[in-house]
Amino acid sequence: MYIAIEGIDTAGKSTQIAALKEHFSDAVITKEPGATEIGKEIRQMVLSAKAKSKKAEFLLFLADRAEHMQEVIEPNLHKMIISDRSAVSGIAYALIQGDISEEELVSLNNFATSNTYPQKVFLLCLSKEELEYRLSQKELDGIELRGSEYLLQIQDAIVQACKLLKLELVEIDATQSKEAITQEILNNINT
């Protein structure tokens, strides 16, 4: 089974992936972007912000996604795969940019992924109040500096991306205890 843990910054993705690894010791744990050698280079290119074009940035992410599919996902589809983000996040960020139509986003991602997507997507949802509290407790990176409104737009766009791709989405209240969130994910994996 191939699942993705999605959520905006500070939602607790890393915490839940670590907890899931304890339940699925043989699982392939991966992330997008940057899970392959080429992906690491692409991630550095994007983070350097040298690309002036949002379309160029999007195409770099698609290149990472295609490599990730071939190197990590496809060879392991017979195993449990737990991914920190997926094509869903890529589409969500692109939806916010507004440079590419929904049809093109789906078509280009279908090409990059060979139509292979997570069987279940778990979205760790935060309220504006909880998000702002969590952001106030840490040093912010470039994305987080864009503010809570921007991050909440991304959270909504993740839901929209799942609808566009017709993926099963499980929304989870990320303000619950870590253990309650893990249990909710496990309950949904087993259904």
Residue 154 has pLDDT above 90, yes or no: yes
**Residue 145 banded pLDDT, cuts 50, 70, 90:** confident
**Residue 2 banded pLDDT, cuts 50, 70, 90:** very high
pLDDT at site 35? 94
Residue 21 has pLDDT above 80, yes or no: yes
- Overall average pLDDT of the 92-97 stretch: 92
Q: Domain extents for the chain?
A: 2-27+78-189
How far is residue 2's CA from residue 34's CA, in Å, rounded to a whole number?
18
pLDDT at site 50? 75
pLDDT at site 18? 97
**Which span out of 49-63, 88-102, 141-155, 156-170 was modeled with the highest average pLDDT?**
156-170
- Mean pLDDT, rounded, of the chain: 93
Q: How many CB atoms lie within 10 A of CB 101?
A: 9
Model pTM greater than 0.85?
yes
pLDDT at site 149? 93
Q: 11: left (phi > 0), else alpha (psi -120 to 50), else beta?
A: alpha
In this structure, are residues 3 and 51 in contact, taking their beta carbons and an 8 Å threshold?
no
**Residue 57 banded pLDDT, cuts 50, 70, 90:** confident
DSSP annotation of 139 reads -
Q: Which of 84, 32, 82 has the alpha carbon at shortest distance from 62?
A: 32
pLDDT at site 52? 80
Domain topology for 2-27+78-189: Rossmann fold (3.40.50)
Give 171 or 52, the one with higher predicted confidence: 171
Give 44 or 179, the one with higher predicted confidence: 179
